[in-house]
Structure formats: structure tokens, C-alpha cells
Amino acid sequence: MARSLGKHGKAGQGACLLGIALLLSACLPGPPGPAPSSSPGTPSSIPAPPSPGPGTPSTNAAPSPGESVHFTAQGDIGVSTGAKKVLDVVAGLAPQLNLTLGDFAYKAGLEQQFCDMVTARLGEDFPYQLVTGNHESDGHDGDIEKYVQCLPNKLPGVQGEYGTQWRVDVPARNPVVRFILVSPGIEFRDGQPLDYSRDSERWRWTADAIDEAKSQKIPWTVVGMHTPCLSVGNYGCLAGQDFTNMLIEKKVDLVLSGHDHVYQRTHQLATGADCAQLVPASFTSGCLADTDGSMVQGSGTVFATVGVGGVGLYNVHADDPEMRYFASTSGKNQDPAFGTLDVTATADELAARFVPADGYAFSDSFTVRRR
């Protein structure tokens, strides 16, 4: 016959059960703690999901509603007060990453000094993403390999040769933006430029990266390089006429460059019945797809040169026939400003603005919306 436990027996059994429950709860994982917050003025890092292996396509599911990618971009930087002011602007904007469009310290042997200047303002873990300019590509005024060592890639899923030709989807899962960084029109150690001529290996790599982004339904494609093609600064079409027209034909949303020490942003440009191709050093009105500040994706491509990262500015040449392609320009002789392009992309909109460094007033803004 079972014995009655009575008052004290039930209390003892309860204590035993409580002890077992506590032991079991100690073995189970608790809820994750809050993510560490960024210190004031320090850009926040992109969460790092598992990195896809080489050749692994990104998940092409639609981005989560409200998910965005915030990045800044500029080139032609140096190690002077101007460069530090621009880096301070970037730190204050707190983007998820920065596209650094070539020409870093402008002098051999200053690679570590440049890297230390960047990390002192943006932090050791911030994705300060590099593509080479002509001042470090051939080793004469710096070495891109040394910059890559002290400012290595910080984004998951990068494919290609980081610092020279690479691509990445951000976020790595359900991406909002595909970034494609290339190096046409500048010389490397053998004194020769890389081959981005029509149907070359590097041409096909770039074209395939654009096509794949569209096939995977990634909302936005951004191409970055050091050299521009269209310019009202000091240079001609170093990026190559054919290569530039290919970017337009494939409807890249935004093309970023440096090299010319000016800020210049085109209207939305397109080829078609009224513009068989874009021809540098000339103007064809039929190449203008949209000329206001609010554009629609697929109508054309916007080109922005942001060569105002901190070194001496160049003049804007208002008599250049390409001038009518540009919606906004700034240079030594016209609204001079150091600063950065600040871009936020969501599944529905890409919104960009030029943010000047302390002491400058020039500004520009534009948006591209998906249909």
C-alpha cells in the first residue's frame, strides 16, 4: 500500500523537482544577448552571415521589407588634413561599408601610415573596401598589395582578386546590392593596363557579374573603378568607350569612379534608337534618358566621379562638350568641396547625396526608384 507523503513529504518532493529543473535549464542555451552597439561616430559593421564558397550564387529570395544597404564612396584621398576631414564625415555618417575608389597616399612607403589614418577614424573592423588607382597599381607611388594587407577585405562572400577586380553581394543572403569593382585604364607593374577590351576575359567577367545579378533578381547593381570615361575635369575616356557602353547597355544602375579630382554626376544615360552609342568628347541629346533628380530604374545609368577624398582639386571645364551630360559638378573653380557620396539602397529605391567635409557647402542629391 502506498504511503501518504503528508505535508513535509510534498515539500521535499517539490524541492527535488525544482533542483532537477534548475540543472536542466543550466544545460539549455539561453536567448542571445543584445548585439554590441557602435561607439558614437564609428560606422557599424555589416552582420557576417556564412560566406558562400567560390562560385556559390547568392540566394535570390527578395530582401526583407525595410532592409537597406548604406555605403559611402570616394577616391583620391592622400594623408593630409583634407583626407582626415573626409574620413571624419564618413565616420559621422556611420555607413555599413565604404568603397575607396583608388589613389590612396600618393607616395611609396606611406601605406601603413594611410592605413593607420583610416583605422584610427573608422575602426579596425570597418569594411573600408579597396580598388586600386594608378598611384598604387604599378608600385611607383605605393603598392596595392601592401594596402590590401593593412586594409584587408572585411565583407563575406567576396569573389575575384580583392583590390583589383572583385565583386560581392550585400547582404550576403537575400542581397540588396551587387558591387562590382574593376580596374580598366590604369597601368600595372609591367607598364601595361589590364585588358578590358571587348570580349576579353575581364570584359566577360564583368558582363557575367552584371547578368548574374539581374538573373538572381538582386535589386541594384553598382560598378566601381578608378578611371571615369565621361569627364569635365582633366582626363578623357580612360575607362574605355566600349567598356562604358557595355555598362550602359546592361543597365547598370550606378557607376562610380575617381581619378579626376572633381565631383561630377551625370543625368541618367541610355543607348537606343536615338543614341546608338555614347561617344566621348561629344554630346548626343538622344543619350539623355532622364534629366531630373528623381529617376526610374531601367531607363539608364548614372555615372558619378567622386575624386574629392582629400587631395588637390581640379578645375571644371564648362566648355567641354560632355558638360551637358552632367546634372551636377564641383571643382577647384566651381563650388569646391572635399567630401563623399552617401548612398542608401533598399529593395525599392537607391537614394544618394553628396556630403561635403567641414568647411565646404556644395551638395547634390538624386534618387532612382524601381518600377
Mark out the alpha helices in the chain (DSSP H runs).
Answer: 6-27, 81-93, 111-122, 134-137, 144-150, 201-215, 241-249
292 burial level (CB within 10 Å; 0-12, 13-18, 19+): exposed
Contact 135, 76 (CB under 8 A): no
Residue 23 has pLDDT above 60, yes or no: no
Higher pLDDT, 6 or 171: 171
Residue 16 has pLDDT above 50, yes or no: no
Residue 2 has pLDDT above 80, yes or no: no
CATH of domain 63-369: 3.60.21.10
Question: What's residue 190's pLDDT?
Answer: 86
Could you count the other beta carbons within 10 Å of the beta carbon of residue 69? 24
Question: What's residue 70's pLDDT?
Answer: 98
Considering the entire predicted model, what is its pTM? Answer: 0.84
How far apart (Å, rounded) are the C-alpha atoms in residues 261 and 214? 32
The arithmetic mean of pLDDT across residues 111-135, rounded, is 98
Residue linked to cell 579626376: 260
